[in-house]
Amino acid sequence: MKITSILLASILTASLFVSCETKPKKEKHAEVSIEMKKVNDTLLRATITTITDKNGVLNEEVQVIEGTPGEVKAKVEAHKSTVLHDKPHQMHQETEKKLQFSLEAKSGSTASGMVSLTEKDGQVTLEAHINGLDAGVHAIHIHEKADCSSADGKSAGGHWNPTFQPHGAWGDTAGYHRGDIGNFTADSSGHGMITFSTDQWCIGCDDADKNLVGRAIIVHQGADDLTSQPSGAAGARVSCAGIIE
Ligand SMILES: [Cu+2]
Ligand SMILES: [Zn+2]
């Protein structure tokens, strides 16, 4: 195509300067200026001028990219992030999310403790340590609401059951609630602990069937029989913690 038509078609001209957020450990600074011109109705051309400052030595590089607007914009973005940030390894960093909170005694009990929820690689792990329990087997569940305000813990609602299943043992083909963690045993000193991991929960994700935030953890006076409906006949709610971010 003719040079004149290219110049006349220079409808879109954009120029932007981005100053670098230099990482303290690197003596490197970069400035990128981008000029975009419409070549014709389908082609866009970007002229990228990159000035890098390596320990006081300036280096200028000019790069021309031509293609459809989508291709050009993607290449420009990729170039900017490479030059200005220069930290590709960070994109592979594992993200870990952790919440920690206290279990408070309910129903006149002395059962209190700590719970942590950790999300890593698509798995959520619950770890609970409880003191002041009667020795023996106790149920622990996720209940519907992060509301431990009532003295009997019933403000937390029933078992968290976003998938509308019957109450049961976790993993049972006949069905189970997403909150049916199960049982653990307290020793003769009244201390008990449990760890539980699943990929069927998340912490603060957009999937309402998995998101624990806004729910509560309840420890019961008795054991969950894993069959009685709707909640395993586990007795009074002796400890409660709301799951809030
Ligand atoms: Cu319960
Ligand atoms: Zn249940």
Ligand 1 ion: nearby residues, β-carbon < 5 Å: 141, 218
CB 100 within 8 Å of CB 115: yes
The alpha carbon of 140 and the centre of ligand 1 are apart by a number of angstroms equal to 6
Burial of 181 (0-12, 13-18, 19+ CB in 10 A): buried
Q: Ligand 1 mean position to 112 CA, how many Å?
A: 15
User: Ligand 2: distance of its center to the CA of 196 in Å?
Assistant: 15
CA–CA gap between residue 236 and residue 222 (Å, rounded): 7
Query: What is the Å distance from ligand 1's center to 161 Cα?
Result: 12
What DSSP string describes 112-171? EEEEEEEEETTEEEEEEEEESPPSEEEEEEEES-S---STTSGGG-SB--TT---S-STT
Would you write out the chain's pLDDT as a tens digit for each of its 245 residues?
444 444 333 333 333 333 334 334 444 577 888 888 888 888 888 888 888 877 778 888 888 888 888 888 888 888 877 777 655 444 445 578 999 999 999 999 999 999 999 999 999 999 999 999 999 999 999 999 999 999 999 999 999 999 999 999 999 999 999 999 999 999 999 999 999 999 999 999 999 999 999 999 999 999 999 999 999 999 999 999 999 98
Q: How far is the CA of 231 from the centre of ligand 2 (A)?
A: 5
- Which ligand is closest to the CA of 166, given by its number? 2
φ and ψ at residue 28, rounded to 5 degrees: -135, 135
Q: Tell me the three state secondary structure of residue 61.
A: strand
